[in-house]
Structure formats: C-alpha cells, structure tokens
Amino acid sequence: MADIPGFPGDSIGRSEPTGRGLLSFQDFNRPRIRYGYVLLLLFLTTGAAITIFPFVWMFFSALKDSNEVFRIPPTLLPRSWQWSNFVKGWGEINLVRYFSNTIKIMAGTWFMAIIMPSLAAYSLSKMRPAFGNVVLLGFMATLMMPSQAYLIPRFLVLQKLPLIHVNLLDSYWALWLPAIVQPFNIMLLKNFFDRIPTELIESARIDGAAELRIFGQIVFPLSKPIIAVLSIFTINGVWNDFFWPMIVISTQAKQPIMVAVQLFSKGTSSMNVVMAVLFMVSVPPLVVFLVFQRFIIGGMTLGSLKG
Amino acid sequence: MGKALKRQFLPWLFLLPTVLGFIVFSWYPIVLGLIVSLQKYHPIRPPQFVGLANFETLFSDPLFVTAWKNTVEFSLLSLLIGYLVPVVLAILVNEVRRGKSFYRIAYYLPAVLPGVVTAVLWRWLYDPGVGLLNTVIRVFGGQGLPWLMSADTVIPSLVFMATWAGFGSTTVVYLAALQGVPSELYEAAEIDGALVLQRLRYITLPQIRPVMLTMLILQIIGTFQVFTEPFVMTSGGPNNASLTILLLIYRYAFMYFDFGVAAAAGFILFVVLLLVTLTYFRVTARLEE
C-alpha cells in the first residue's frame, strides 16, 4: 500500500538524486579540466576543514585543564586529557534537570505541532468541511506573517487568554499551546494527503470504519515519511529554542536546556567546563543529524518550496 | 438542515482545535498588537488609550534609529558576505564525482549546532586576548582585531559568525535545485559546443534563479529578526553598536515594561517585513509571466 506512485514524500530518505553537473565525461579528457578538478577538490576540502575547525576547537578546549585553556600561544591538543570536565559540567549546570524539562516540552510540542495539524489537514483534504477553503486561506495567510514581529501581543495573550482570562505564563502550556500554529506543516501534510486515493478512504468508510480509525490506521501509517521529517524538525526546534522559552518561563528550574546553557555560559564556570557543556548539548542534534541525514536534507528541500 | 449539520460535525471536530489555535495565537495577536501599540500598557495598571504617543516616543528615541541602522547593516552585510557563498559552493560541490555527501555533511555541520551553542562558542573564539581568531592572526604576524569589543567590528563579526552557522543549510537547498536541472539541457548544449562557462551562464544559473530569489527573501526576513546572537554575545553593545530592532523591542517590553512602545515597534517591523514579502510575490509573479 505504501508504494503508491508519485507520492511527494517518496524521495525523502531513500535514494540520492542522480542529476549531473556542468562537466561531462568528455570534458575530463582535457588536461586543463582535470587540473581544475584537482584544484576544486583541494579548495572544497580546505573549506570543509575550516568550517569544521571551530567545532574541533570546542572539543579540544573542553578537554584541557583550566590553565591550559587560557594559555598563549594555545595548544591544539590538550597536554593532559581532562575527561572529568564533562562530569563537572554535567553536575554544575544540572544537565539532568534541564534535559528532562526539555523532554517534557518536546512531548507536548510534538503533539500540538504534528498531531493537531495532521487532523486539520486530513479534514481539509478528505472530509470536505463547510468553509474549508476559507479556513485553508486563513491558515496559509499566516505563512507571510513574520512571527517575531508580533511577539509582544502573543506574550500578552498568554498572560491573559481571551474570554477565559487564564494566565499561562511560567507553565509549559505557554510553550505547548502556541505550537499548534504550523501553517507550513499543514500545507505539506495536506499536499501529502491529497495524493492518497479517495477510494481508499471511501471503501474504509463503507466498511463502517470511524474517521479517527481511518486516520490512525490508514492515513497516518501511509504518511510516515512526511511525519518523520516534520517530527525531526519539530524536535530539533524545541531542543534549540531559546528566545520564546526565556520570555514566557520565568522560574529558572523550569527552563529548557538552551536557556540554561545561556545563563551558565555567563556564570563563573571556567571556559573548559563551559566548552564541555556546549559539546554535550550539541551531541543530541548531531546524532539526530547523522542518523537521519537523508530525511533532514530531504526536508530542507521541502523547505525550499516554501516560497 | 439537521442532517447537513450532522455531516459537518466530524470534519469540524478535527479542524476546531487548530482553527482555535490560529485565532488565539496568530490572528488575534496581530489585531491586539495594533491595539496595544495605541495604549499605555503596563503589566500591573489598566491599559489606557494614548493615540500615537507610543510611535512618537519611538521616533524621538535615538536608539530606535540606531536599532534600524544596525539591523539594516546586519542584513545587507549578511547578503554581501553570505548570499553568493552557498550558490558558488553548491555549484562546485555538485561537480564532485565521488564523496559529494562528505562535503555536504561537512558544510552542513555548523547548521546543526543550536544557536546558543554557536553564539557562546564564537564569543570565546572572538575573545581579543586568548581567542582562537586573534591567536591565528598573531601567528601570521598581525595585531589581532577587537572583534565584538569595538563598535566598528562588532556587526561584521556577528555577520561572519552567522554566515558560518547558516551557509550550509542554504547550500543543501541549492544542491537539491542543481540536481533537478534536466541533464538533457546540458547534453544539448554540449552538442552545440557550449563551453563550461557558457553552460553555467545559460543553463545552470537560469535554472536555479527561482530558488535564488526565494533564498534572498528568506535571508532578508531572517536577518531582520536577528536576536539570539547579539543577545547572547554582546547584549547589544558595545555602546549599542549591535542593538537590533528585536533587541530594542525586548528591552522596551521586558526591561522597561512599556509594552505599548514595544508593540508599536513590533508593528512597524511587521509592516516592513510584510512589504518585503509582498514585493517578493510581485516580482516572482512578473518573472513567471
């Protein structure tokens, strides 16, 4: 069932595209092109080394002792490898607490940013609600709105929800609830659902399946590629998020990881320990990237269709 | 009538949470932003209508001009330094026969780092005394630069770092676009005897032009909303030389508790960015004709 041809998400995470570049095989018969190609590889490799170097520097700095990290001229490799800096950083910032805070935020955000938009997109795509087009337009128009520009009123809305006058500030609801505003996810999900043959849904309906079951057992499993991509981006986004949590969560013990890292970096800890913390909090996104590389790069391409 | 309503029940049940969310957290705040920008709004006092007084406050605040100047400078410099780098790199990487994905991963790596990590790391690299960058410069016999510590170099330093952090993800998008160029076009051009540079000019660049335009607009919109880097690295300093418009909004709201003025500044930013986006749609529509 998963092999319906022409699915928009088919290419995600599978094979690499096989387009060609400017140079053809014949071009390589010319010596000038061949020398140029070697120069090109040299240039790209140097570029890659320079790009990666700050990251390597962070790792080595994390392993130096507190004197060596400030040494002039600096050493590249640590003279004695202080793995204990990682233990120290782990304890000093209280990584376990902020990690579990972030996981809590992630779980709720994922539900609001993936499940709710999926239900809405499914409704718009397959259930023909009255005024569906108006609703879709209302969703899509917000794609053009720069969200940071109305940060202040969004903050004020959370401080006093309209009609019910509840203050959500300093609770995770202030992060979870606004996460439902995902016009881009809705657009991609709806495009995906539109490609699922209506007959599939209709026949399930005739068999008496409830809509929520059709969604859960047919549509959702079929949409795994797109759900996976959007989930990775959502989870990464929560891990990296800083500005909005810093504003809406005022109790420091409730903050997610990046707010804690920012505060920690301005504290009194030594630079090698700070670097150890930076390295540790970079590991999860790095692992996610290396494992799901194909999905993420496929997702970036979806992103470029945004305009 | 009852039957039609009943048929509408389920579809709308699926839609309702999202529609409510959009109304409460997207549409209503846009309206509220306009209302609050016309009010004296302090968190503990009842709001009071003051007309355009908040806008007057802003326009008479020299920092408002500074913030816009810095933001525009950041944006233009980002375009100057960072806009063409991914295009060139993607075209070059696309020529690589073997190990293309190595370069793609290497260039994308900085984009994987969380923004806060990048900012803290570069604050350390930029340290005038013991930072890596000045050390390297001194090895080559130079003096070293003040980087984040001087009003002249702070914005270029932030732009350089932001370029490092961001060029990889854009390169990946261009690479995908280059992979989408039909190979028949190149083959036909080769049969006609087109040289490599001619193929670049007449096939590659026109084919990726729409993506280049999209990236241009996304970069402008993104750089106009820069906050994390100056907030973490310089707090807007030295002497407000890296104060951006979003940082000023933050200060008005969460340091001076003057939400009215903050909302007014947000409204101006909102209008500016909306105009940029609309111009973009105009231009693409004209290009497509």
* Contact list, B266 vs chain A (CB under 8 Å): 149-153
Q: In this predicted structure, what is the pLDDT of residue A189? A: 92
Q: In this predicted structure, what is the pLDDT of residue A72? A: 75
Could you tell me which residue, A307 or A126, shows the higher pLDDT? A126
Q: Is the pLDDT of residue A254 over 50?
A: yes
Q: Is the pLDDT of residue B243 over 90?
A: yes
Residues A228 and A192: beta-carbon distance below 8 Å: no
pLDDT tens-digit profile of B175-188? Answer: 888 888 888 888 88
Considering only alpha carbons, which residue of chain A is nearest residue B182? A19
Q: Does B146 touch chain A (CB under 8 A)?
A: no
Q: Which percentage of chain B shows pLDDT scores above 90?
A: 50
Nearest to A22 among B95, B228, B263 (CB): B95
d(CA B247, CA A285): 27
Domains detected in chain A: 18-82 (no CATH), 93-304 (1.10.3720.10)
Q: Which two tokens stand for residue B115?
A: 């923004």
CA distance B149 to chain A (A): 16
Q: Is the pLDDT of residue B155 over 70?
A: yes
Q: In this predicted structure, what is the pLDDT of residue A82? A: 85
pLDDT tens-digit profile of A268-288? Answer: 888 889 999 999 999 999 999
Q: In this predicted structure, what is the pLDDT of residue B202? A: 87
CA distance B104 to chain A (A): 9
* Contact list, B259 vs chain A (CB under 8 Å): 152, 156
Contact (CB<8Å) B179/A26: no
Contact (CB<8Å) A297/B33: no
Q: In this predicted structure, what is the pLDDT of residue B1? A: 56
Contact (CB<8Å) B114/A54: no
CA distance A212 to chain B (A): 9
Pick the CATH number of B66-288 from 3.40.50.620, 1.10.3720.10, 2.30.30.30, 3.40.190.10: 1.10.3720.10
Mean pLDDT computed over every residue of chain A: 86
Nearest to B120 among A19, A265, A304 (CB): A265
Domain ranges of chain B: 66-288
Nearest to A307 among B107, B129, B217 (CB): B217
pLDDT tens-digit profile of A88-146? Answer: 889 888 999 999 999 999 999 999 999 999 999 999 998 888 898 999 999 998 888 88
Interface test with A, best of B39, B116, B216, B276 (most A CBs within 10 A): B116
d(CA A17, CA A23): 17
d(CA A215, CA A116): 12
* Contact list, B244 vs chain A (CB under 8 Å): none
d(CA B243, CA A215): 48
Q: Is the pLDDT of residue A307 over 50?
A: no
Nearest to B26 among A27, A44, A181 (CB): A181
pLDDT tens-digit profile of B248-276? Answer: 999 999 999 999 999 999 999 999 998 98
Considering only alpha carbons, which residue of chain A is nearest residue B113? A282
Average the pLDDT over B77-81 and give the result.
92
Nearest to A162 among B24, B33, B132 (CB): B24
Interface test with B, best of A124, A156, A161, A301 (most B CBs within 10 A): A156
Residues B94 and B101: beta-carbon distance below 8 Å: no
- Cite the DSSP H helix spans in chain A: 31-63, 84-93, 95-110, 116-126, 132-141, 151-159, 173-176, 183-194, 198-206, 211-214, 220-222, 224-240, 243-248, 257-265, 271-291, 293-304
Average the pLDDT over B71-89 and give the result.
93
Q: Which residues contact A274 (CB under 8 A, 6 or more apart)?
A: A89, A264, A265, B120, B124
Name the DSSP class of A218.
I
Specify the residue for token string 């795994």: A224
Angle in degrees, 0-180, between the axes of helices B154-179 and B62-82, rounded to the nearest 10: 40
* Contact list, A124 vs chain B (CB under 8 Å): 15
Q: Say yes or no: ipTM exceeds 0.90.
A: no
Contact (CB<8Å) A243/B168: no
